[in-house]
Amino acid sequence: MSKSMGFLDLFCAASMPVLKVLIVTALGSYLALDSIDILGQSTRKQINNIVFFVFNPALVGSNLASTITYKSMISMWFMPVNILLTFIIGSALGWVLMIIAKPPRHLKGLIIGSCAAGNMGNMLLIILPAVCKEKASPFGDPDVCSEYAIAYASLSLAIGAVYLWLYVYNLVRVYSGHSQDTGRKEIGTMQEDLTRSLLPSSPSSTNIREKVKVMLYALKQNLEKFSKYINLKAVFAPSTIGAIVGFVIGTISPMRRLLIGTTAPLRVIQDSATLVGDTAIPIVTLIVGGNLLRGLQGSGISLPLVFGIVAVKYVFLPLFGILLVKGAIYLGLVQADPLYVFVLLLHFAVPPAMNTGTITQLFGVGESECSVIMLWTYGLASIALTLWSTIFMWLYGFAGLQGSGISLPLVFGIVAVKYVFLPLFGILLVKGAIYLGLVQADPLYVFVLLLHFAVPPAMNTGTITQLFGVGESECSVIMLWTYGLASIALTLWSTIFMWLVA
């Protein structure tokens, strides 16, 4: 990897794949226009069913079977843990957001799911091979890079799909109210049946053997009812089954030799599954584009809540990702392969999973709200994902920009101070001043006071370093990152401040 590559080269390598996704998404929005009506609402719903039952399982299964082996699974063991951490941290941040914003009950599953589940599959399958093929790519030989990139993306896709359908599907289902009434009824019946079964019907039932039989029967009966309540069919969604099949074929050598490879006797089955699965990426991207059009029409979801989700996905999660992956490397849990580390970091910076929209349409709840969330998150992905991709490539590909002696952790410390800690302290201080009567409750005046805590460093800091001839290049690097991230941070904090003073 060449150390002479600058920020602009990395920025171009990171931006091209994102632009490809945006172009296909824009095409989906165009096809969904009322004047065109090729990808209308009813069409999207029918295609979503095909994606759910056919395309996604084929995509997950075929990619895993062809790229994952027992040896590669051992070397990439941390990836499932890493993706699980994105779900856990995202869910925790989503809960905090819900406590602050207090959304209606039927949207809670959507909000937590949007914060937790990232686009681990389609986005990575598009971005990673495209980054490898870019001339400015910092990951070495394009062919070798692409081979490993597909393996990493396939595993991310499979694990992400399993977590998505295990967690987000049931989360949306529970909060949507589909299982609430039946669940309560079945729980009550379970308790009654259990009590009735354990009560002795006559003195002769005191026999220990009869008691054991009664308890076993009650346990079996209530387990059956409990399995219906949690909807095990939904837990083992088609994508989950496809992932299991792919893992089995990929890791068991006899089955792999039978189905995978140019000389495999049953290779036509794998080729057919790949042919069907490859359709999923452009189809789902087009559907997202069609759903984004609906988001332009507005919905019942508040804009501060949407920007809260944006902040979780594009500010807090990536920062947590850097800390966690850095810690894993320090503890020796992760191999120091730049591409592998880049993929682990990218898990924390991708927009919400596209199939979140599919889930809301399956339950018929939160569809318009999901469209608005997708509109903003994917609209801002062109900036956020490009910037974070550049930062991640720079973070693990270079000691720093040429000519600068400042360490990157120090730069990010300054960014965190300016765009995370200072604004939070500002909110506490200004709120306290208003409470004590030191500040008049004029919304514009309060907004300006809050804004003082969220602006980037003063430009004249660079002038001062030049006057003394010290720290000029280091100051340039600090200004590059703080002003580069200002478009996101300042917009988000301005929205939060306006919401607070309204």
pLDDT tens digits, 203-236: 544 566 666 666 676 666 666 655 555 555 655 6
Which tokens go with 151?
């393996």
- Tell me, yes or no, whether 279 and 137 share the same domain: yes
Of 213, 230, 247, the residue at which a domain comes to its end is 230
Q: Which H or E element spans position 324? A: helix 317-330
**Alpha-carbon distance 293 to 379, whole Å?**
11
- Tell me, yes or no, whether 222 and 263 share the same domain: no
Least trusted range by pLDDT, from 65-69, 112-116, 263-267, 427-431: 65-69
Per-residue pLDDT at 393: 76
Say which residues have a Cβ less than 8 Å from residue 443's Cβ, sequence separation at least 6. 501, 502
For residue 462, what are the domain limits?
403-502
Length of the chain: 502
- Tell me, yes or no, whether 448 and 491 share the same domain: yes
pLDDT tens digits, 280-303: 878 878 887 887 776 666 566 777
- What do you get for the CA distance between the two ends of the chain, in Å? 51
Query: How many domains does the chain fold into?
Result: 3
Beta carbons of 115 and 178 less than 8 angstroms apart: no
Which tokens go with 252?
């068991």
Q: Give domain status of residue 133, yes or no.
A: yes
Beta carbons of 391 and 459 less than 8 angstroms apart: no
Of 270 and 12, more confident: 270
Burial of 198: CB neighbours in 10 Å, binned 0-12, 13-18, 19+: exposed
Q: Give domain status of residue 434, yes or no.
A: yes
Of 201, 230, 259, the residue at which a domain comes to its end is 230
Per-residue pLDDT at 1: 43
**Alpha-carbon distance 146 to 131, whole Å?**
9
The percent of residues above 90 in pLDDT, for the chain, comes to 7
Q: Give domain status of residue 77, yes or no.
A: yes
Per-residue pLDDT at 235: 57
Per-residue pLDDT at 184: 46
The stretch 131-152 carries a mean pLDDT of 75
- Tell me, yes or no, whether 417 and 361 share the same domain: no
- Tell me, yes or no, whether 132 and 184 share the same domain: no
* Phi, psi (deg, nearest 5) at residue 118: -105, 165
* Phi, psi (deg, nearest 5) at residue 394: -70, -40
The dihedral built from the CA positions of residue 355, 359, 364 and 365, taken in this order, carries a sign that is negative
Per-residue pLDDT at 136: 60
- Tell me, yes or no, whether 240 and 225 share the same domain: no
- Tell me, yes or no, whether 329 and 342 share the same domain: yes
The stretch 303-325 carries a mean pLDDT of 88
SS3 352: strand
Per-residue pLDDT at 230: 53
Q: Give domain status of residue 2, yes or no.
A: no
Beta carbons of 247 and 68 less than 8 angstroms apart: yes
Per-residue pLDDT at 115: 92
Does 326 score more than 80 pLDDT? Answer: yes
- Within 148-236, strands assigned E span none
- Tell me, yes or no, whether 245 and 297 share the same domain: yes
pLDDT tens digits, 450-493: 999 998 888 888 788 878 888 777 887 787 778 767 767 887 78
- Tell me, yes or no, whether 188 and 174 share the same domain: no
R_g of the chain computed on alpha carbons: 26
State how far the alpha carbon of 221 is from the alpha carbons of 184, 191, 278, 385, in Å: 17, 11, 43, 50
SS3 455: coil
Residue closest to 128 by CA, chosen among 277, 345, 309, 357? 345
**Alpha-carbon distance 82 to 124, whole Å?**
15
Per-residue pLDDT at 215: 66
What are the b/e assignments for 318-331, b being 16+ CB within 10 Å? bbbbbebbbebeee
The dihedral built from the CA positions of residue 468, 473, 476 and 481, taken in this order, carries a sign that is negative
Beta carbons of 369 and 303 less than 8 angstroms apart: no
Residue closest to 110 by CA, chosen among 248, 315, 389, 306? 306
- Tell me, yes or no, whether 42 and 158 share the same domain: yes
Per-residue pLDDT at 297: 60
pLDDT tens digits, 407-456: 767 887 888 889 888 998 999 899 889 888 888 878 889 889 999 999 88
**Alpha-carbon distance 347 to 85, whole Å?**
10
Q: Give domain status of residue 1, yes or no.
A: no
Beta carbons of 327 and 65 less than 8 angstroms apart: no
In angstroms, how far is CA 11 from the centroid of its own chain?
A: 22
**Alpha-carbon distance 190 to 197, whole Å?**
10
Does 384 score more than 70 pLDDT? Answer: yes
Least trusted range by pLDDT, from 143-147, 193-197, 301-305, 360-364: 193-197
Which tokens go with 437?
């009567």
- Tell me, yes or no, whether 278 and 291 share the same domain: yes
Give the CA-trace dihedral at 176, 179, 183, 185, to 10 degrees: 100
Of 337, 372, 398, the residue at which a domain comes to its end is 398
Mean confidence (pLDDT) of the chain: 78
What are the b/e assignments for 116-132, b being 16+ CB within 10 Å? bbbbbbbbbbbbbbbbb
Of 149 and 324, more confident: 324
| Angle between helix 142-163 and 122-133 (nearest 10) | 170
CB hemisphere CA count around 345 (13 angstroms)? 28
- Tell me, yes or no, whether 132 and 200 share the same domain: no
The stretch 72-101 carries a mean pLDDT of 88
CB hemisphere CA count around 276 (13 angstroms)? 18
Of 214 and 62, more confident: 62
Residue closest to 325 by CA, chosen among 69, 8, 89, 5? 89
Query: SS in 3 state form for 104-162?
Result: CHHHHHHHHHHHHCECCCHHHHHHHHHHHHCCCCCCCCHHHHHHHHHHHHHHHHHHHHH
User: Residue 317 — pLDDT band, cuts 50, 70, 90?
Assistant: very high
User: Residue 272 — pLDDT band, cuts 50, 70, 90?
Assistant: very high
User: Residue 304 — pLDDT band, cuts 50, 70, 90?
Assistant: confident
* Phi, psi (deg, nearest 5) at residue 320: -60, -40
Residue closest to 150 by CA, chosen among 339, 351, 395? 339
Q: Give domain status of residue 409, yes or no.
A: yes
